[in-house]
Amino acid sequence: MTRRTIRGRALVAAAAASLAAAPALADDFQWLEAPKAPAALAWARDHTAKTKARLSAEPGYAALLGELEGVLKANAPIADIALMGPRAARLQRDAEHPRGLLQVADRGADGAPGPWRTALDVAALGAAEGKAYTLNWAYGSSCLAPAYQRCLLALSDGGSDEVALREFDLAAGRFVEGGFSAPASRVQSAWIDKDTVLIAHTLGDSPKTAAGWGAVARLWRRGQAAADAPAAFTAPKTDATLQFSTVGGAPGRVLMTRVIDYSTFEVMAIDAEGRIEKLALPAQIKPFGPQGGGDDRVVVQLAAPARIAGRDAPADTVLSYDLSPKTPAERRLEVIYAPADGEVISSFSGFASTRSRLFLPVQKALKTTIVAASHGPSGWTVKPVVAGEAGEDLGVASADPTGEDVILHRTSFLTPPTLELLHGAGTRVLAKAEPAFDASRYMVEVKSAVSKDGTPVDYYVVRPKAPAHPGATPTLITGYGAFGITLTPAYLGRSFGGQALKLWFDRGGALVLPAIRGGGERGVAWHMAAIRDKRQASYDDFIAVAEDLVRSGLTTPGHVGVFGTSNGGLLSAVVATQRPDLFGAAISDVPLADMLRYPKIAMGAAWMDEYGDPDKPDMRKALAAYSPFHNIRPGVAYPPFLITISTTDNRVGPGHARKLAARLEEVGVQPFFLEDEEGGHGVSDPLSRPDIMAMRMQFLIGRLMR
């Protein structure tokens, strides 16, 4: 154990002892939680103005902004393409159209999209209506099968999670006169048939769940106001939310899922008459599902071992449930794929179903193979389709529920993303991004560190082959580590700063991505190892990787910057407050920060299964032990902090970021604080706000590359 490791762990122990010995810190900053309260908004505007003045005045900022604007014009990200029966659609975003162009193309006999035509210019619509619209495009699930011509478009003013719904004719490129339309609210919706939509909204005094989403599923008929739609099902107010999804490529039913607490689910099918069938599925399934798996089939993934059809199935097993009344009840639930030792099946790399096949990404030893599962008289059979290379992110971007075509997405840290169409026995490239930086100067390594409890933690290192400053390479380290979410290798990926990361690589910086506990990198057990009172394991893993970077001679603490978004923003704030000696700069983007009040802010109540209930004494003690807001102490030399948030972020809420900055300021640290009044939870987007991302890069380059 190194001297630095011993000193770091002593700091952690001292902080814990200080917390245990002292009464809970008084919270004098609750007034900052209300997003648009005049005093809170004035505070945010004042701190934002001061930060912009500080960063824009630093030498190099103007040049960085110019560089970023140049790469955005030359290297627009390729848009995912949704295959939808006779047509394809995409939301194309670039420097000239940061809010996006919704485009449609007719598909030819070879399955490929023909010429693209713009159906909707989102920015132009917003300008005409005096709104800052963004389009929450769900890549095909918003449109009614099998023609996929009528779509329910979700329009957010300012990036909020509250959206207005409008029926849109995708082929004609216009909104449907007298069609379905609902004012902005937190809403879930799905087509049942051409004249019926299942909707759960928060309009008026409609009941809400604990997380602030609609608790009532309603049958919304054509010609009817959404607020007047009659109730078909009411979830308990203690639930997190209701989720809706379609079944296969034929209308008539919708999957309705009670998300009880993101560990326990109840799945039902509902038809246009309001008839509800509860599916005999295990309650512990993975979140962000279930989904249609071809005609009359539903696909889910186990979050815990279960007894399926008389046999034991391990966690992460993928199951199908047959909705057909012709199928005997005892044969409805079947195993599609059970992972072997060392295999991980992650829905975050994409599950998708054609009319007759389900495509799954199976990873082992960092190599992903796409397999296709088909159902026959004797059950499911699985065959490999495409194999990726080690360190490559290979996933299913889209599949046509009414046909057999599939689009694969392929990328890596050093390889621009490609979309490939699988049609029949052949493949063809549909889109490929242009290189944005000289990848030949870089190499990718996979290493392993040992966490505090002895657990090995793998991590990726993207570093220059010939560093300009050997032993002191400027290094950015990021992660997530919650909800079973896996951050995968990606070329200038959104999670890593998008095209702004080019500015870092061009100057010889390194990037590190650890597979910390709490994520899904090693399946369900890896996630469960860092939930609730075990959350510190995730932070210990991250700290162990940062220590290993220094111990290996790659860099020094003064040249290491930590950053993260959402739960990753919480992660960066925790490790920078627990081990301020390890980092030269910290960025918390749209973070959680006050872990004793998070259920009372925005939709935090939905996440108590993940983080724990602070009203329970044992959990309150565990949360207080790492909550950044409660662990900032006077007299500690914290690294420079940049905290970013949006006023319209009603997912995490701006209160966390404001309170984190205010607490740092209270102990004598002058944080950098940027609050955009638009942008929502995705405010740190280079295309929409290149100025914010240029300031982020100025903050990092100015503090770590010197």
Average of per-residue pLDDT across 40-59: 97
C-alpha closest to that of 459 among 560, 541, 577: 541
4 has a pLDDT exceeding 60: no
Instruction: Report d(CA 406, CA 396) in Å as an integer.
Output: 7
Average of per-residue pLDDT across 268-279: 95
The predicted model scores a pTM of: 0.93
Average of per-residue pLDDT across 145-159: 94
664 has a pLDDT exceeding 90: yes
Average of per-residue pLDDT across 119-138: 95
Q: Which CATH superfamily hosts domain 36-71+436-704?
A: Alpha/Beta hydrolase fold, catalytic domain (3.40.50.1820)
Beta partners for residue 411, in sequence order: 393
Backbone angles phi, psi at 22, to 5 degrees: -100, 155
Instruction: Report d(CA 263, CA 234) in Å as an integer.
Output: 20
250 has a pLDDT exceeding 80: no
> Which pLDDT does position 290 carry in this prediction?
66
> In angstroms, how far is CA 445 from the centroid of its own chain?
25
Q: 552 by DSSP, 3-state: which? A: coil
16 has a pLDDT exceeding 60: no
Decide: 589 and 641 in contact? Cβ < 8 Å: no
Angle separating helix axes 61-74 and 690-704, nearest 10 degrees? 130
Instruction: Report d(CA 332, CA 319) in Å as an integer.
Output: 10
Q: Rg of the chain's alpha carbons, rounded to an integer?
A: 25
Residue-wise pLDDT tens digits, 336-381: 999 999 999 877 667 889 999 999 999 998 899 999 999 998 899 9
289 has a pLDDT exceeding 70: no
Decide: 233 and 268 in contact? Cβ < 8 Å: yes
Confidence class for position 31, pLDDT limits 50, 70, 90 = very high
557 has a pLDDT exceeding 70: yes
13 has a pLDDT exceeding 70: no
Angle subtended at Cα 235 by Cα 230 and Cα 236, rounded to the nearest 5 degrees: 130
Per domain, the residue ranges of the chain are 36-71+436-704
Which residue is associated with the tokens 């245990």?
A: 20
Element of type H or E holding 540:
helix 536-551
Residue-wise pLDDT tens digits, 484-495: 999 999 999 999
Residue-wise pLDDT tens digits, 212-243: 999 999 999 999 999 999 999 999 999 999 99
527 has a pLDDT exceeding 90: yes
> Which pLDDT does position 140 carry in this prediction?
65
Average of per-residue pLDDT across 416-433: 93
Element of type H or E holding 44:
helix 38-56
> Which pLDDT does position 549 carry in this prediction?
98
C-alpha closest to that of 484 among 455, 436, 444, 516: 516
Percent of the chain exceeding pLDDT 70 equals 94
Residue-wise pLDDT tens digits, 508-523: 999 999 999 999 999 8
> Which pLDDT does position 348 carry in this prediction?
67
